[in-house]
Structure 1
Amino acid sequence: MSEEQLFNLKTVVNNLSHRGPDSDGFFYSENVSLGMRRLSINDLTTGSQPLFNEDRTIALVCNGEIYNFIELREKLISLGYSFSSKSDVEVVIYLYEEYGPDCFAQLRGMFAIALYDARRNSVFLVRDRLGEKPLFYSHDHSTLYFSSEFTQLLHIHSTSPRISPSAFNLYLTFQYLPEPFSFVDNISQLPAAHYLEFNCADSTFILQRYWFPEHLSSSEPFSSDYLFDLLKSSCLLMNHADVPVALALSGGVDSSLVAALSADITKDICAFSVGYQGNPSSDERSKAAYLADYLGIPFLPIEISDADVENCFPDLVQAMDLPIADIAALGYYKVSQASRQNGFPVLLSGLGGDEVFWGYQWVKDTLTNATNSSRSKLSRLRSLLTRSKSSTPSFFGQHSFLSSANELSRQIIPAERLSNAPSDFWLVHNSIDTSIPPHLGVFDLLSRTWLRSNCLTLMDRVSMANSVEVRLPLLDNHLVDYMISQRNSGLRDWELPCKSLLLRSLESVLPNEVLSRKKQGFTPPVRRWYKLVINKYSNLLFGGSLQRQGLIDTSIFTPSYFSQLPLDFSYKLLLMEMWSRCHVEKTPIRDFS
């Protein structure tokens, strides 16, 4: 590798120190160089990376956790392998030696892995099933670059990267950029549940999926007791750490069940909860405090003031490797910050329960309509004969606020910049896959868009910005596999009340007051926060980075026009402006005023 490439590697690794403040590590060979930063969670003394096999023909770095490493380690020891550490990641090396790339399907965890096999002269990049951990790559026909963060690859090919107008349109429509789209050319994100094999000899690569939910099935009927056992198993595995573990607790069912099951596992677990200045109706601290007291868990409330919203916004933008205009981001950021400051590098969260157990009524209604339509012989025949767009069940198209945002974005983006993205671009490329059963198609689309591109991406970036690892028991792949296998075998739980199967399994551990609460979600005082941020920073939009990139039509985008835009749309524009200044143009955040 050239001196410039080695310098770039060290620079990127240093820039990722927030993701791993405890140590760094490098590996160099004729064809491959690896670097990583480590956040020490398991095996604090001998778990440094990169890790190697005995003859050092395999080198590996990993971001994340392999939750079933003890089980895999015992299996590999019985096959004659010996280990040099107690690291959860070392099992991947010997699992690969034994099974080759087929081993990745045996991993239970959240992970982004890079593995170099010198004998095969190949590099493997691997991402977990639901995309909890990010992994970006760029290929320039001779070299493969990869990183846990998009912005670390942003300036590899150009000192002046250009934001894609069609990606900008999608972002303004959704408030996030749905995978697999990218804000710039030449940088892609490895799809969840896939591995990439790069051949160092000819600089080619292939992508291969390793998880096939459509193949899952069950010969046993659904069991609430078995679901409860899976929930306990997931919480048990995710409470395993050689450092203190805390949890983010709201008043909702999902975080409450994680708290209830974890309280029996981890003796010194602590709960953090976010509240807001003035105690608005959306403040759930009192509900969270009630459950913490019920479970006997120490409780640390956090209050976000209006001054926090204004002053922390530039820090939040800097933490966002990808722009996501979810106003709840500051709450997640503050919880992670408090967790780290109080000595808890691991934070458990109930994120994912709504997606796995049908917690959104509109998603259930869509699935019911899609299922009834797919079961109609006439509908199937019409679809086969016409292949018309109308045969695809509506998902995002039923939301007028999304179509309105798409129209607004097309007013401010110069028309010639969207010549390759027709007006329905946002909808056509984010629709249900009708080649698989409706419940899989809906889950796949919901996972790829809202769950992965908004929630998981946001949670990973704001937590890792504070050097905190967030673990999500409700996205454990054994739990997800069980629910999918039941649905593949005939369970139609979307026709039941929201999350009813999950609630039924928790009757023995949660008080009825918690189980019967209406869904609220993480809901800060949205309009007030929008106004605080917009009033302080909106001047940056005029003559700013987005205009310099030619993404905004200056003939119509005036202060008067901006003042008439919906608050949420204005917030999306402003966040993107500041993100572009910070990450594309490298403007220090101290200059945001």
Structure 2
Amino acid sequence: MCGIVGIARLGERPLPDAFVLRRMMSTIQYRGPDDSGEFLSDDVQLGVVRLSIQDPKNGAQPVFSCSGESVAVYNGEVYNAHALRQRLLRDGHRIGSQCDSELLPHLYEEHGIEMVNELRGMFAFSIWDNREKRLFFARDRMGIKPLYYARMNDFLLFASEVKAIIASGMIDPEIDLDSLDDLFSMSYPCPPRTMFKEILEIPPAHILNVRTQTREVAKVRYWESPTPPAGSHSRISRAEAAEELRSLLRLRVYDHTMADSPVAAYLSGGLDSSAICGLMKEVYGDPPETFTVSFESAAYDEYPNALEVVEFLDSPNHVLHCGARMAEDLERMVWHTELPLQFPLALPMIALAGLAKTNGYPVVLSGDGADELMGGYDCFRGDKMRRMLDRPGLRFLRPLVYRQLYKWLQMPEGAVDGIIENQLSARQIQQNYGGIIPPWYDVWTTVGVDRQRLLGFSGRLIRDVREAPVGFSDLLPSDIGRMHPLDAGIALEQRTRLPAWILLIGDRASMAEGVEARVPFLDQDVVEFMASMPPSFKMQGLQEKAILRQCTSSLMPKSTNIRQKRPFFTPIREWFFSESEPEFVRDELSPERLRATGLFDPGLVAAYRREIRVVPERSLMRNRLEWTLFLILQTQIMQRLFVEARCLKSPLPPMAI
């Protein structure tokens, strides 16, 4: 796993001194602490920092084709590398290492840009074709590995992380106000936007083709999850599907554990991570070494659930104990995520990766992705309930059913009222969002307290949450109207929240400590298999991930297999906004600092800070105030680190290139 950067010349101006490229590399050195390399020419500059997982002694980058005319920098892991290497060797290519990175320029010489269809894995890479004067980028199908770019008049910059582009000094960083609007509704910028103007992500399953002499930049989707129209799913029986999924997952877990370094696993005690750990034991006979988070507060602690799995598998387990002292690392978290988070999830995840690395494990397997394949979140159950109660003769029951259901689920007081209100305007919402009600829409309407006043105090017009974000329609599959509603919601989830939030956090938290996190559930074969399955296999009644529960029942305790999904939450008020709040919170949210930043209404922020001290704990307003204040706090930190300091003052200790 690595970090890559580069600069391409699109005009007459010469490329900057190589020091600029090295400064970009230095900014993300933690992604590749083991080695670094660069390629310099009059047309492009490519740089890479390397985390050595496969063939540590012989895997230096950049890598070249036999002719020397194609050169690549690469971040990722290709799980069918062995088969590809054997084929290339038979065709006469000279390949000197066991690293998957070396295959890329050879595959490019064989297949051109169609080479991306040969790869199965997680990846983000760039190849410079000196003959064609073409710079070619590709990102994996699900967006597991990140890649960003910024186009200017005379140059194109790219990097694994936004901070490297900003650190070049060749772009004036500025918060994207459309993205800020999205943050206080969706909780992340609507892709492909980032939190910064003019810096975009290369979307998952896309290639970017740059002709440096003509300045032509073309973006093309190369893969799409093959979701069938409603009623056209596989005719396989449930028992056959469970057996096939178990076999497929076993193979993919085996692939994902191939490394020249030890491999461990994250274990939360939930269904998904427990399934991965159980499959690892089934494949190898011995249980994996596991790493688990525990919180001081029982309200957030899942360790008792994880302990059941640890004892069932007889797994060596390491526990990270999390408390309020973690709040002091918030600046570091924002530096790595480059995105304010609705919850401080990345704080324990960064520390957990550090614990794995300290114990000799630079590679871990994660259960991320299963929820996004099978509709595993409460919002998917809520959407099914909405459709059930929208039938003639049942609509009058909606308030009663929702109030009883959410009382049983112990939802915070006030949550049901907003959901019922959204139900009444469902058709208008569906029309505004291109024919679909996004699965997380109910949450989007609760994130920002008094959002219009908070963000629009300077007179700026703020997008109403009922209106789709800028660019949202471009994310919808062209055939979404033909899909079953559950499949449509899953397809949207895979193009939005999964890469823009879930996978972003997973990548940044692990790479912050130089750890490679692998996600077997998001292997191409598993994704395509689950896309073909009938919706009832994914959600049976209101039981989510039904087929996964069936096929992994023998791999974990029964209590784990049948337990309802519990979201991974972390404390906010207790860590950041209590009477003993950290000093940096007072500094960042002071009226003077807020006025200097100019993004939020200082009077409203002060009112929120007073109210959060007295609002009842089990209320929706408590949650909304926590989310709103926490997003404001992180945005203030991000403004200071990325815009004002231009990523030249890292909160991390320096690492030499």
Report the TM-score, using the length of structure 1 for normalisation: 0.89
Which of 128, 138, 154 is the aligned partner of 2:140? 128
The alignment status of 1:446 with 2:499, answered yes or no, reads no
CA deviation after TM superposition for structure 1 residue 471, in Å: 0.6
Alignment of 1:101-180 (within 5 A): 101-154=113-166, 156=168, 160-180=172-192
Aligned to 2:641: 582
Contact 1:316-1:330 within 8 A present in 2 as well: yes
Aligned to 2:79: 67
| Cα-Cα RMSD | 3.1
Aligned to 2:595: 547
Aligned to 1:231: 249
Letter in 1 for 2:344: I
Aligned to 1:274: 293
Aligned to 1:456: 503
Aligned to 2:272: 254
Letter in 2 for 1:485: S
Identify which range, 428-437 or 327-336, moves more after superposition: 428-437
Distance in structure 2 (CA, Å) of the matches to 1:118 and 1:520: 52
User: 3-state SS of the aligned residue for 1:197?
Assistant: strand
Deviation per CA, 1:520-577: give whole Å up to 9, x if none.
13233454234359554332122566533421234x3463454236122111111111
For structure 1, the residue ranges without an aligned partner over 5 or more in a row are 375-386
Deviation per CA, 1:462-510: give whole Å up to 9, x if none.
21111111111111111001111335xx876445421110111112322
The alignment status of 1:296 with 2:338, answered yes or no, reads no
User: 3-state SS of the aligned residue for 2:89?
Assistant: helix
Letter in 2 for 1:503: R
Aligned to 1:405: 447
User: 3-state SS of the aligned residue for 2:496?
Assistant: helix
Which of 534, 550, 563 is the aligned partner of 1:504? 550
CA deviation after TM superposition for structure 1 residue 367, in Å: 5.8
Contact 2:190-2:469 within 8 A present in 1 as well: no
Return closer, same or farther for 1:553/1:426 CA change in 2, 3 Å cut-off.
Answer: farther
Contact 2:447-2:628 within 8 A present in 1 as well: yes
Return closer, same or farther for 1:559/1:368 CA change in 2, 3 Å cut-off.
Answer: closer
Return closer, same or farther for 1:276/1:149 CA change in 2, 3 Å cut-off.
Answer: same
Identify which range, 544-553 or 294-303, moves more after superposition: 544-553
Alignment of 1:427-442 (within 5 A): 430=472, 434-435=480-481, 437=483, 438-442=485-489
Aligned to 1:310: 327
Which of 435, 455, 474 is the aligned partner of 1:392? 435
CA deviation after TM superposition for structure 1 residue 450, in Å: 2.3
Aligned length: 575
Distance in structure 2 (CA, Å) of the matches to 1:417 and 1:262: 56
Distance in structure 1 (CA, Å) of the matches to 2:432 and 2:115: 39
Return closer, same or farther for 1:195/1:481 CA change in 2, 3 Å cut-off.
Answer: same
Distance in structure 1 (CA, Å) of the matches to 2:471 and 2:42: 41
Aligned to 2:94: 82
Letter in 2 for 1:343: G
Contact 2:289-2:315 within 8 A present in 1 as well: yes
Aligned to 2:569: 523
Identify which range, 124-133 or 209-218, moves more after superposition: 209-218
Contact 1:59-1:116 within 8 A present in 2 as well: yes
Distance in structure 2 (CA, Å) of the matches to 1:558 and 1:512: 47
Identify which range, 320-329 or 463-472, moves more after superposition: 320-329
Aligned to 1:382: none
CA deviation after TM superposition for structure 1 residue 7, in Å: 2.1
Deviation per CA, 1:307-337: give whole Å up to 9, x if none.
2x23222222222233323222212111111
Aligned to 2:456: 414
Deviation per CA, 1:365-404: give whole Å up to 9, x if none.
5368679999xxxxxxxxxxxx9548823225751x5324
Letter in 2 for 1:230: L
Report the TM-score, using the length of structure 2 for normalisation: 0.80
Return closer, same or farther for 1:81/1:159 CA change in 2, 3 Å cut-off.
Answer: closer
Distance in structure 1 (CA, Å) of the matches to 2:626 and 2:506: 23
Identify which range, 333-342 or 387-396, moves more after superposition: 387-396
Distance in structure 2 (CA, Å) of the matches to 1:188 and 1:427: 16
CA deviation after TM superposition for structure 1 residue 254, in Å: 0.5
User: 3-state SS of the aligned residue for 2:309?
Assistant: helix
